[in-house]
Structure 1
Amino acid sequence: MNELPNCETLLLERDSGVLHVTLNRPDSRNAMSLAMVGELRALLAALGDDRETRVVVLRGAGGHFCAGGDIKDMAGARAAGVDAYRELNRAFGSLLEEAQALPQVLIVVLEGAVLGGGFGLACVSDIAICAGSAQFGLPETSLGVIPAQIAPFVVKRIGLTQARRLALSAARFDGREALRLGLVHFVEEDANSLAERLLESLEQVRRCAPGANAATKALLLASEGADLGPLLDSAAQRFAEAVSGAEGSEGTLAFLQKRKPNWAR
């Protein structure tokens, strides 16, 4: 199990193969500061080859997920000019890329503000659970800026037509609309229901072999824009390696013996 980095803006808790990560800047509705981006990226790097951590659950403290980028950081970069703004913005895009490619299953629990950068994090999750009262939106254009790093992930998540409407109107919407758009998978009306849905999702993921999940996630992500023939050739090779590997052998044997495989016990 890899050692986790020390964090000032994140709360970390490990529990039976699950890493609970809480964005912990409640005084700013967990706005994404440069320090938080750096800590999240360091955490994801530490998890890259950690096979004992099977699921990462990401949520926010104080009743909000994330209200977007930290305006104070943007103001602080003003004196350094365009280059500082570019580096600040691109760092968040790198975070989204790294979160999307995480080999573990990424579950987000969305409450309160899910705006801008928080919206982007929701778009790179594998499983998204939200409160019906959560408030989603892309407010960038109402501030005179653009959702530069977020936009490609939003388009992939909900499609170009809806992304255009939301980005060009800065419209706010709730959890039920997020479900209709395909941004989230589950919407719950109270804290108990949110907790129960999270437990159910964790139980379902635990039934799946961690190595098989990581390979499947990589295959699904590679399918976007890839040529079909080479993609299927690569998938066949991955299948052969999986079925002849330790997890494939254990999974098929467990099926024949009518028992749970060792990763699901």
Structure 2
Amino acid sequence: MPMRALPTTRSLVLEEEGGWLTVWLDRPETRNALSGEMVDELKAVAAALRDDSPVRGVTFRGKGGTFCSGGDLKGFRAIVEEGRTLEDVAAFSRSAGELFHAVNELPQVTVMLVEGAAMAGGLGLVCAGDFVAVTADARFALTETMLGIPPAQIAPLVVQRIGLAAARRIMLTAARFDGVEAHRIGLADAVAQDAAGLAAIEGEVRRNVMQCAPGAVAVTKELALAAAHLPREEMLDRAAAGFARCLTGEEGREGVAAFLEKRKPRWAL
């Protein structure tokens, strides 16, 4: 199917190959800080991926050996010095929050590859991924409270990723930790020694994802995210409807037939 055109970007490098998109954060001079421009571009990429895209998976990583240093503090200072209203500042925060949730809710499988550092909002972006691989020496911290601000928009995603107790500890103390500790607390799914190790882990994830039906993956993600907040009866209904759509749709018919006929389904690469 034709893919909705990816946006033209200045702070991101987009590489699509074989049904997989790699999104490189590309502001190495700022350690890939999340500027307003980068947030807008990431949201535009997410919008393009959400609408009938043939992309099966998305990897996020950072140029220059660093994932993301968090929000652009020079931009934060400019907001204060310009005397923006509370409403303006809240709208700025909400825009960033919309980005994190847009990534979290992408229908594709998302992979976060972290080397160098993932700080503050960068750590929040990591928590929006489905699969996270980090180098052992990668550095992490939620430093917002040290700056007199809360990790407001990323807090729900941090809790979602590692649970309330661990999230409270790292958010309220601004604790710094490495990739090994990130794996221990559930932030990371896998640890590598270097970038080559990250590439090997990602390759295995890609191979596995390419065996799965993209529509079924999208419905599975939708149900998993809904499970935390939907009442029991509504969850049962949504799960039943999703199952019915998939089983009676093209993918379900093909998947069952392929299994019974002992062949690969059409989507398996």
Aligned to 1:46: 48
Question: Map of 1:1-265 to 2, 5 A cutoff?
Answer: 1-78=3-80, 79-81=82-84, 82-265=86-269
Could you list the runs of 5+ residues in structure 2 that have no partner in the other structure?
none
- Deviation for aligned residue 1:84: 3.1
Cα-to-partner distance string for 1:164-218 (whole Å, 9 max, x where unaligned)? 1111211110111111111111111122211110000000011100000001100
- Deviation for aligned residue 1:229: 1.9
- 8 Å CA contact 1:69–1:116 kept in 2: the answer is yes
User: Aligned partners of 1:175 and 1:48: how far apart in 2?
Assistant: 30
User: Aligned partners of 1:14 and 1:196: how far apart in 2?
Assistant: 18
- 8 Å CA contact 1:74–1:85 kept in 2: the answer is no
AA at the equivalent of 1:61: K
How many residue pairs match? The answer is: 265
User: Aligned partners of 1:118 and 1:135: how far apart in 2?
Assistant: 11
User: Aligned partners of 1:100 and 1:240: how far apart in 2?
Assistant: 24
Classify the secondary structure of the residue corresponding to 1:262.
coil
User: Aligned partners of 1:160 and 1:238: how far apart in 2?
Assistant: 29
- 8 Å CA contact 1:65–1:112 kept in 2: the answer is yes
**TM-score normalised over the length of structure 2:** 0.96
User: Aligned partners of 2:242 and 2:156: how far apart in 1?
Assistant: 28
- 8 Å CA contact 1:26–1:64 kept in 2: the answer is yes
AA at the equivalent of 1:11: V
User: Aligned partners of 1:183 and 1:223: how far apart in 2?
Assistant: 20
Classify the secondary structure of the residue corresponding to 1:57.
strand
User: Aligned partners of 1:234 and 1:156: how far apart in 2?
Assistant: 21
AA at the equivalent of 2:136: G
User: Aligned partners of 1:219 and 1:180: how far apart in 2?
Assistant: 26
Could you list the runs of 5+ residues in structure 1 that have no partner in the other structure?
none
- Name the % identity: 48
- 8 Å CA contact 2:35–2:71 kept in 1: the answer is yes
- 8 Å CA contact 1:158–1:183 kept in 2: the answer is yes
- Deviation for aligned residue 1:240: 1.3
User: Aligned partners of 1:117 and 1:83: how far apart in 2?
Assistant: 21
User: Aligned partners of 1:130 and 1:166: how far apart in 2?
Assistant: 18
- 8 Å CA contact 2:115–2:195 kept in 1: the answer is no
- Deviation for aligned residue 1:151: 1.0
Classify the secondary structure of the residue corresponding to 2:65.
coil
- Deviation for aligned residue 1:50: 2.9
Classify the secondary structure of the residue corresponding to 1:31.
coil
User: Aligned partners of 1:241 and 1:144: how far apart in 2?
Assistant: 48
- 8 Å CA contact 2:120–2:151 kept in 1: the answer is yes
